[in-house]
Amino acid sequence: MKILMVASEAVPYAKTGGLADVAGVLPKFLRQLGHDVRVVIPLYGSIDRWKYRMDDVPGAMGVWMGVMGELWCGIKESRLPNSDVPVYFIDYERFFARSQLYNEPNGQGFMDNDNRFVFLSRAALQLCKKLDFAPDIVHCNDWHTAAVPIFLNTVYRDDPFFSHTASLLTIHNMEYQGRYYSGLMDVLDIGWEHFNHLELEWQGQVNLLKGGIYHSTLFNAVSHGYAAEILTPQFGHGLEGVVQDRRDALRGVLNGIDYEEWNPAHDVYITAPYDKEQMAGKAVCKHALQEEMHLVPRSDVPLFGLVARLVDQKGIRLLAEVFESLMALDLQIALLGSGESWAHDFFNAMAAKYPGKFACYLGYSNPLAHRIEAGSDFFLMPSVFEPCGLNQLYSLRYGSLPIVHAVGGLNDTVENFDEYNHTGTGFKYNDQTPGAFYDTIGWALSTWYHRPDDIAGLRWRAMSQVFSWQGSASQYVDIYREAIWRRTGQSVD
């Protein structure tokens, strides 16, 4: 198959979340399965074009933007590291030559995000023509590229070049929908007849994600659990009715992780290697993490790790509510993350108040994230909702038992500990309340101190789990084939 992956971010070039992993890692595994896959992302100002050895694609490219006219951009080309997968960068400085992907330094979204990502969507399709690459399917991601299926179903509907092109829209987070003023219809230039309650209109605004869901051949969420959740008002964020109307086109595919990078047996960032057969290195990693983060070096006390964006979705307020109560227990916590200013202030104050028991690094460090996974005994993920989640998958492989809110991908991937049947891979709670979260941490703590054999068994089972991109890629290939058949009535290999 000819597959075009269009996204607003992709590792290793630009990343704010799991979307970047899908766009930057999944194509490698699709290529291993024999498919011709290509990736399109913006050329942000933060991307080092020399480091990634970019070449110019000859000739400027015009992109029609309705009332804004035709905008001309350049195209850079590279390869995903350790692969032959082409990556094309849309080079338009007015929209993308910024150090941040989506937001001003104060956290507010750029005022022109609507135009920026409509431009990306249309440029990706125009690039196909420039390269004479007629994709069998375009795989889009979140609201940023949801205009691609809208364009395919409207202005390109009768274009022979795209007559056999299906679309898949992957939803990584339903909360972010791309809602903008109605005048965006004149930039899209698809005709105001599409500004209606079924397609793009939402409370008087253009809703790009809604339009993408309506027009995509198929769409999917990044776990089976989240696919079911977005059908409900609690998780649908106002679009549950649209999802329900198209539930026959909805699929769920769990993200994988890259075991070449996230594997304690040969992790270049951790102090000592280990695996489920030889666990001695984990104790070494714990001691090293305690020293690095200025926690009291104790092997007998359980160390709880947390690596997350410090925002409400990740359950940070819930952690703050129970924090002082946790500090009364015999445990340690190591936190890595950045986000809302109140969270920075709070955790800085807690680190000063409880030295040796709690330490935080406010920012992001990929090497430290690896060392927290390796050095922790338990890993906290109290997310309000979690479409897939990756840290619980890392934690399972590193034997750092996840403590999670039973939602979305967390519920799909963590099996709750059953102390009577000696099964499970972590600890789960159902109610997003301080009491439920605190009690579950207490349950894990009690198991640590009173049932060490069960901790060893939990670790063994956790580290035996496999959530690879190979499996996810195979599932996506099946969905691509279904989408192409729906679009064309033809099957492909």
354-406 pLDDT, tens digit each = 999 999 999 889 899 999 999 999 999 999 999 999 999 999 999 999 999 99
Q: What is the pLDDT at residue 157?
A: 93
CA 141 to chain centre: 10
Q: Which burial class, exposed, middle or buried, applies to 385 when counting CB atoms under 10 A from its CB (0-12, 13-18, 19+)?
A: buried
Q: How many CB atoms lie within 10 A of CB 133?
A: 15
Q: How many CB atoms lie within 10 A of CB 224?
A: 17
Q: What is the pLDDT at residue 107?
A: 76
Q: Distance of CA 42 to CAs 118, 250, 313, 322, 434, Å?
A: 12, 28, 26, 41, 41
Taking only the tens place, the pLDDT of each residue in 88-143 is: 999 999 999 998 999 988 778 999 999 999 999 999 999 999 999 999 999 999 99
Taking only the tens place, the pLDDT of each residue in 471-489 is: 999 999 999 999 999 999 8
C-beta separation of 31 from 81 below 8 A: no
Helix, strand, or coil (residue 51): coil
Q: What is the mean pLDDT of residues 219-236?
A: 97
Q: What is the pLDDT at residue 3?
A: 98
Compare 458 and 340 and report the one with higher pLDDT: 458
Q: What is the mean pLDDT of residues 148-153?
A: 98
d(CA 27, CA 166) in angstroms, rounded, equals: 17
Structure tokens of 148?
């691609």
Which amino acid is located at 164 in the chain? H
Q: Distance of CA 11 to CAs 29, 80, 81, 142, Å?
A: 14, 9, 10, 16
CA R_g for the chain:
23
- Lowest-confidence segment of 32-36, 163-167, 210-214, 309-313 by average pLDDT: 309-313
Which amino acid is located at 72 in the chain? W
Provide, rounded to the nearest whole percent, the portion of the chain with pLDDT above 70: 100
Mean pLDDT, rounded, of the chain? 96
Which residue's entry shows tokens 């406010």?
Answer: 362
